[in-house]
Amino acid sequence: MHGKSILLIIGGGIAAYKSLELIRRLSERGVKTRAILTKAGAEFVTPLSVSSLAGEKVFSDLFSLTDEAEMGHIELSRSADLVVVAPATADLMGKLAGGLANDLASTALLATDKPILMAPAMNVRMWESPSVRRSVEQLKKDGVLFVGPNDGEMACGEFGPGRMAEPLEIVAAIERALKIEGPLAGVRALVTAGPTREPVDPVRFLANHSSGKQGYAIADALARAGADTTLISGPVSLAPPTGVKLMRVTTAREMLAACESALPADVLVMAAAVADWRPDIAANSKIKKSTDRIVPLIKLVENPDILHTLAHGPQRPRLVIGFAAETDDVVENAVAKRARKGADWIIANDVSANLDGESVMGGEKNRIHLISETGTEDWPELSKSEVGSRLALRIADKLKGAA
Ligand code: C5P
């Protein structure tokens, strides 16, 4: 066990409720939390719920003589390996940037000799206001670390940057700041995701329904487990996972070139739905609707098989994982695919399945079969992010066993 701990300052914002999950997630990872709840923070979460999760009393008032007798505020500010502010309000950031200290939280922030990580949360207009911009600039110059905020719909109904990062993102940032090694530390991972688009002319293309969600969830889980992760993505509308190197591509040939440029890697996860075919020539100008009603013919040529190419290439990763999206005889087809492609594992899923009224392609859930050298594992129906987390642990076990 690493034995690391944080001092969590919970500011006054609607996102304060997420700090409860943050404490729980940290304790799952063996990080101990001691908490300071600001006066405004206590309007959103109760000291009792924070102390129940943290497993010790919450500190809240600079002028509490009992608290000072138990642990002075200077000692408290240095009692952990990292100070985390979540939610970091405009008030707390402004105070630290300006050197003000008029309560326990701001005093601890000034007095600490440990690194500080802020997870801002506020209304989008506040986040964009010149004074908050100035605070953030100043804090960054002073070496304060930041996670988020993310774009999204806010509790106040407005849309834009200002939403506090999700607890798992904050956990990942804390683990990075504390240099806690995940099970995949030192492993280089290459993940592909999404569809490819094969141009017909400047305005048309051939593509498929892949949303990229499963591949993005895998890249996210690998990075959270400590892998140095590169994600090569076809066109999708997903936010890049934190801590992942993202390379955007459009066509299968661009994806192959990007994969080759990202090698060497220890593990390759080919989750992309690569187009098997492309139009032999992409017209330079838009193909016009013909007046004599002749339908233009598109001649297709085969795309390179990226998985096969990399699995047989000179820089073959130690663990090569392919996907098989099937609509029938899922396992049989996937077993044959494993041999044909030269992959170590194939993750097979039935893309015709309907999980909770959603299709696997584009939906949030997945039910997969993992086909390896030892046989087939049938996994239960899981969210795509749970599939990613489980897969990251399976990969860590496999690489450790092979090392
Ligand atoms: O042959 P099929 O397309 O069913 O194989 C699926 C697996 O092969 C996936 O892992 C996919 O990413 C990969 N693939 C590839 N290059 C292609 C076609 C598929 O790497 N041209």
DSSP state of 242: T
Contact 184, 225 (CB under 8 A): yes
CA distance linking residue 272 with residue 308, whole number of Å: 13
370-383 per-position pLDDT tens digit: 999 999 999 998 88
d(CA 136, ligand 1 centre) in Å: 44
Q: Which atom of ligand 1 is nearest to 343's Cα?
A: 10
Does the domain at 5-177 match CATH 3.40.50.1950? Answer given as yes
390-401 per-position pLDDT tens digit: 999 899 999 987
Q: Which of 274, 277, 308, 319 to mutate to test the pocket of ligand 1 (most atoms within 8 A of CB)?
A: 274
| Res 157 pLDDT > 90 | no
| Res 179 pLDDT > 90 | no
Give nearest CA residue, ligand 1 atom 5. Answer: 324
Q: If you write DSSP's letter for every residue of 88-114 in order, what string do you get?
A: E-HHHHHHHHHT---SHHHHHHHH--S
What's the pLDDT band for 369 if we cut at 50, 70, 90? very high
Query: What angle separates helix 167-178 from helix 16-28, to the nearest 10 degrees?
Result: 50
d(CA 339, ligand 1 centre) in Å: 13
Quick one: what percent of the chain has pLDDT higher than 70?
97
Quick one: what percent of the chain has pLDDT higher than 90?
73
Q: What single letter denotes the amino acid at residue 297?
A: L
CATH number attached to the domain at 188-402: 3.40.50.10300
Residues with CB under 6 A from ligand 1: 252, 270, 272, 274, 276, 303, 305-307, 322-324, 337
Cβ neighbours around 397 below 10 Å, total: 10
Cβ neighbours around 329 below 10 Å, total: 11
Interacting residues of 296 by C-beta distance below 8 A, sequence separation 6+: 287, 290
Give nearest CA residue, ligand 1 atom 2. Answer: 324
CA distance linking residue 222 with residue 241, whole number of Å: 10
Every domain range in the chain assigned CATH 3.40.50.1950: 5-177
d(CA 274, ligand 1 centre) in Å: 6
Comparison of pLDDT for 288 and 344, the residue scoring more? 344
Q: Which of 254, 323, 328, 349 to mutate to test the pocket of ligand 1 (most atoms within 8 A of CB)?
A: 323
| Res 66 pLDDT > 80 | no
Give nearest CA residue, ligand 1 atom 9. Answer: 323
| Res 403 pLDDT > 50 | no
What's the rounded mean pLDDT across residues 301-312?
98
Length of the chain as a residue count: 403
Q: Which of 192, 232, 305 to mutate to test the pocket of ligand 1 (most atoms within 8 A of CB)?
A: 305
Give nearest CA residue, ligand 1 atom 13. Answer: 307
Q: Which residue has the tokens 């504390």?
A: 178
393: closest CA among 374, 364, 370, 362? Answer: 370
Q: Which atom of ligand 1 is nearest to 302's Cα?
A: 21
What's the rounded mean pLDDT across residues 63-67?
68
d(CA 198, ligand 1 centre) in Å: 15
Here the tokens at position 331 are 């396992």
Sign of CA dihedral 158, 164, 169, 173: positive
Strands 82-88 and 116-120: parallel
d(CA 273, ligand 1 centre) in Å: 6
Query: What pLDDT is attached to residue 3?
Result: 87
259 catalytic residue (yes or no): no
| Res 99 pLDDT > 90 | yes
**From the candidates 74, 110, 155, 156, which is the catalytic residue?**
156
Q: Which atom of ligand 1 is nearest to 306's Cα?
A: 20
Residue 148 region, left (φ>0) first, then alpha (ψ -120 to 50), else beta? left
H or E, element range at 256: helix 252-262
Q: Which atom of ligand 1 is nearest to 321's Cα?
A: 10
What's the rounded mean pLDDT across residues 320-327?
93
What's the rounded mean pLDDT across residues 202-224?
95
Every domain range in the chain assigned CATH 3.40.50.10300: 188-402
What's the pLDDT band for 110 if we cut at 50, 70, 90? very high
377: closest CA among 326, 322, 335? Answer: 335
Interacting residues of 111 by C-beta distance below 8 A, sequence separation 6+: 73, 74, 77, 78, 101
Residue 154 phi, psi dihedral angles, 5° rounding = -105, 165
Average pLDDT, the chain: 92
CA distance linking residue 29 with residue 255, whole number of Å: 35
